[in-house]
Copies of this chain bind each other. A is one copy, B any other.
């Protein structure tokens, strides 16, 4: 890879070669970050070159991805999700220039496809055709789907409490799903042992530094979709921390190669019932575990393994942290749906809930160019959505009763 210089430990600062087998720092165990040769990339990736590319997916940014020059694109169209100008929603929130990035429109319906697609490509290019992770959520389904698209095997370890509905997507993609009698920690440990024993590719976001390299492409798209105007603020929901770290890396990459002229401020949104990253950001104290008490299960991460990367992203960007209640998340789901036509899962709508709160607190100027990222599709969690959805009007098939019911409820028909 001509474009990658190596991997830097974000804990001890040691420099390493970038590889797929050694995910963490051999010296201190810290999380690694991929380092690029920006002066070189500057010469091979320009706005004009991008404008001429027809592929709408994340592969259009391959010069900024940790993949070889001859690496073949992924089979599924990952990324290329729409960015909507949301005037009516902006009016409700008090923002004149609000955009919604609907990343639920990815092949397996979440932003995590960006990470998993990169993982399967890295695996393929390293000659590994079996991948594994422990997760019940979007990481697992995106791994299963992207592995299937290349004819690769995936092994997914889930805790026994994982709801049957969430396993369906995995099994349809042909994943071998191992339901571990125990909690998430037990599932994680068994997956780690099996990955070690069988030599599978490790897609545990906790430690694989390539995953946030996939996720950063959401920022490339936001910038390009805004004709390389960088937003003043980007709101994103935070669980493990890998996504917000990726979002920040994306904007930094573009800035480093001169495709953009500024950086956004990040709004880190967590559920009030599980906000270890935001708590550490506010207090300045080290990260400590929290209970996982929220309906937004995709960001219910009590021990965020990319917490340090996330904290650095918020701080470097001059950003802010906002916690939201489950009620506020459900309200935001309704607002996104009714005022923008976007159906996000609770974790996906959380960013919009946080943005709303930040505006109410006077932290975001009305004129600011603001993007809220919807990280997953509401169809993923219709039980959660049902709580935000209200009830239908139940009547017999009688026109007079319908008219009366509209009057009673003050519905203008």
Give which listed residue, B102, B107, B168, B395, contacts A382 with CB less than 8 A: B168
Decide if A242 is an interface residue (CB 8 Å cutoff): no
Are A189 and B378 neighbours in the complex by a CB distance under 8 Å? no
* Shortest beta-carbon distance from A35 to chain B in Å: 31
Looking across the interface, which residue of chain B has its beta carbon closest to that of A199?
B413
Decide if A287 is an interface residue (CB 8 Å cutoff): no
Decide if A385 is an interface residue (CB 8 Å cutoff): yes
Once bound together, how far apart are the Cα atoms of A341 and B75, in whole Å? 9
Question: Which of A19-27, A170-178, A209-217, A252-260 is near enough to bind chain B?
Answer: A170-178
Give which listed residue, B85, B88, B197, contacts A399 with CB less than 8 A: B197
* Size of the chain A interface, CB-CB below 8 angstroms: 85
Decide if A380 is an interface residue (CB 8 Å cutoff): yes
Give which listed residue, B77, B84, B130, B393, contacts A179 with CB less than 8 A: B393
CB proximity to B under 8 Å, residues A368-413: 377-380, 382, 385-386, 388-399, 402-403, 411-413
Are A181 and B395 neighbours in the complex by a CB distance under 8 Å? yes
Residues in B whose Cβ lies below 8 Å from that of A339: 148, 151, 174
Decide if A337 is an interface residue (CB 8 Å cutoff): yes
Given contacts A172-B334, A178-B395, A392-B178, whether A413 and B84 have CB atoms under 8 Å apart is no
Decide if A351 is an interface residue (CB 8 Å cutoff): no
Once bound together, how far apart are the Cα atoms of A264 and B172, in whole Å? 30
Interface string of A331-349 (1 = CB under 8 A from B): 0011001111111000000
* Shortest beta-carbon distance from A404 to chain B in Å: 13
